[in-house]
Homo-oligomer: A and B are copies of this chain.
């Protein structure tokens, strides 16, 4: 049997403690599958005295986690601290420069600095792995890099944020409004006390940009993910969608298209979408994640599982460690950084599709005429229009339109025509209908 793979673990929150518990619980089978022992030798966290339910006395303790990068008795640094910059990034860079492999669950850091870290890892000849950064315990990065490796990926999309999916499926089940359900999610630990990253789609955008880079062999481009969260959704939207045969899910979607000069461009968007009942993503409830890849030979593949939580995330972290122990490393983004294409971001005006547009309006004569005239003038063809009869407390009514297939630019134009109209009591909400 080979020498143990020696791990320094930075960050002892729920995931860090989960990694320790997992390595304890499954030690024997992991050693067998990895071909060698995976042994934590040092740990670091902010508070040494906190009870985490695991015995830390076996490990060396570092008060300054960045010091772990310089330890001579460590092969791999596992970074579970979080934050796109700051100590996590310092630790990551130092570890790689010191010739150590880096395993991380830090989606923000990879979304912002993944390319430069991968480049440094290539130079140092060490592994950089981040399966846990996307979709928790679901081995979707591995699925893309290896399982679907023979395919040109045509589209990748999915449910990438468990907090939003919990909120949306609970709104669906209970008919309650967004704010209510968010409060419950916070009490239950499904949402952070500051939920912005989750509910505004930023966390999903981090993950989507990582998946898109691997799927399309493109330089990671988080800055150009067009991102809308779920905070503008109302219970009435969910009910409306349901009456049309759809559920609402926050979908991250990436695909490539051809620009005017024939160049390949990258489209990346996180947005609440209407998902038809017949689609597998319509049945993904609670804090579950799911990713669909469409390859030119594989067809549609679906990967589904727990998107967060200590056990699933630890499972992904240790899967990366087993890969490293086996010597199965490969390029972080599937191909070497220099071979990744720099794709310009795709515009969206030409994108064809059907859309749900919801207006909150004052209940007075002429409002419907104003809206439908704008649609006509912009060339948006209306398939159905539903006005909810009941006023809200504020005297507003909701008007929902489902369009026929058409270009996105027409919808944008229609909304421009209505911009500033005193009839509207809130900005219109536009959602794509996800194709079957």
Contact = CB atoms under 8 A, between A and B. Distances in A.
A373 interface: no
Contact of A33 (B149, B301, B328): B149
Interface in A313-327: 314-319, 321-323, 326
A349 interface: no
A114 interface: no
A306 interface: yes
Contacts of A335: 32-33
Contacts of A146: 139, 142, 146, 319, 322-323, 328
A319 B138 contact: no
A304 interface: yes
Interface string A32-70: 111000000000000000000000000000000000000
Interface in A131-147: 131, 137-139, 142-143, 145-147
A71 interface: no
A189 B73 CA distance: 60
Given A147-B143, A147-B319, A298-B305, A33 B314 contact: no
A237 to B, nearest CB: 23
A151 B297 contact: no
A309 interface: yes
A124 interface: no
B304 A217 contact: no
The 8 closest A-B pairs by CB, nearest first: A139-B147, A150-B318, A298-B315, A302-B304, A297-B311, A301-B305, A137-B298, A297-B315
Taking the full assembly, how many copies of this chain does it contain?
2
Interface of A: 18, 22, 25-26, 29-30, 32-34, 131, 137-139, 142-143, 145-152, 217, 280, 283, 290, 295-306, 309, 311-312, 314-319, 321-323, 326, 328, 330, 334-335, 339
Nearest to A305: B301
A318 B30 CA distance: 28
A275 B296 CA distance: 31
A143 B131 CA distance: 12
B137 A297 contact: yes
A27 B117 CA distance: 28
Contact of A297 (B33, B280, B298, B314): B314
A139 B145 CA distance: 11
